[in-house]
Amino acid sequence: MMDFPPELINFLKKATRVAVLTGAGVSQESGLRTFRDAQAGLWAQYRPEDLATPTAFARAPKLVWDWYAHRRESAKGAQPNPGHYALAEMEKMIPEFALITQNVDGLHRMAGSKNILELHGNILNVRCSECGTFAETWVDDLEFVPRCKKCNGLLRPDVVWFEESLPRVQLDAAINATRTCQVFFSIGTSGVVHPAAALAHAAKAEGAVVVEINAEPTPLTTKVDFAFHGKSGEILPELVKAVWG
């Protein structure tokens, strides 16, 4: 059993407004690779930053499509881990709870979380890169990227790439939840990709108690009120049990 500081336990027991920001680390124990981990196998020669951009898609659409197809298959085969479930439990205890995620894997929803703000889209969805129409089905081809049935534009994953802006509604809701929360969690994120990374700092500036749970220290660690280093799939269930168990 982990020892959590009693002040933190008390804050959480009394809290009515909590915001949580998650990153790729919360899905690591579900078998999905984090972004800044080394790529494996076939993809080891590419950096994610060189695949997840409109420029990369314009230059080599099939390469980018295939990388996402590969990641989509991994996401489809993945199951939530105890960290995802603990966050769904936490939501039930807190009247105003927002789960802001940078993840595109859909695992928070699968675990039962309700108020989810997906800042970077969802890898399971596919839309036209030109007219934006969502595609329910498409035919995979060895050579070509599938095309939109409506306008013949190239299909692409419904995720936010570097150089693209975040969905306005989700971002505004995330900023609002960050401003008004009493406790803010930053979990499984390296905290280097903006604007998501700025949320924890904003929460701190607004007077929230900020808690980091991450496998290793990040640029945020020295700024937070409480930092726990380890696996979120182990720490979160223990924390939920310690506060509400």
Catalytic residues: 120
| Contact status: 50 vs ligand APR (CB under 6 A) | no
Whole-angstrom distance between the N-terminal and C-terminal Cα of the chain?
13
Give CA separation, 183 vs 4, 6, 18, 36, 106, in Å.
15, 15, 5, 27, 24
User: Sign of dihedral through CA atoms 224, 230, 232, 237?
Assistant: negative
Work out the burial of residue 243: count CB atoms within 10 Å of its CB; fewer than 13 is exposed, 13-18 middle, 19 or more buried: middle
Of 224, 23, 238, 227, residue with least CA distance to 118: 23
Give the phi and the psi of residue 138 in degrees, each rounded to 5: -160, 160
- Contact map string, positions 97 to 136, toward ligand APR, x by CB under 6 A: -----x-----------------x----------------
**Smaller CB separation from ligand APR, 25 or 237:** 25
The vertex-28 CA angle with 108 and 242, nearest 5°, equals 65
CB of 18 to ligand APR, least distance (A): 18
- Contact map string, positions 8 to 37, toward ligand APR, x by CB under 6 A: ---------------xxx--xx----xxx-
CB of 15 to ligand APR, least distance (A): 22
| Contact status: 85 vs ligand APR (CB under 6 A) | no
In the window 209-228, what residues touch ligand APR (CB under 6 A)? Answer: 214-216, 218
**Smaller CB separation from ligand APR, 109 or 231:** 231
Using only the alpha carbons of the chain, give its radius of gyration: 19
Which three-class secondary structure state does DSSP give residue 154? strand
CB of 233 to ligand APR, least distance (A): 6
CB of 48 to ligand APR, least distance (A): 5
CB of 81 to ligand APR, least distance (A): 8
**Smaller CB separation from ligand APR, 143 or 216:** 216
In the window 167-196, what residues touch ligand APR (CB under 6 A)? Answer: 188-190, 193
Work out the burial of residue 163: count CB atoms within 10 Å of its CB; fewer than 13 is exposed, 13-18 middle, 19 or more buried: exposed
| Contact status: 80 vs ligand APR (CB under 6 A) | no
Q: Name the one residue in this structure whose structure tokens are 């205890």.
A: 93
**Smaller CB separation from ligand APR, 196 or 209:** 196
By the criterion CB under 6 A, which residues form the site for ligand APR?
23-25, 28-29, 34-36, 48, 52, 102, 120, 188-190, 193, 214-216, 218, 231-233
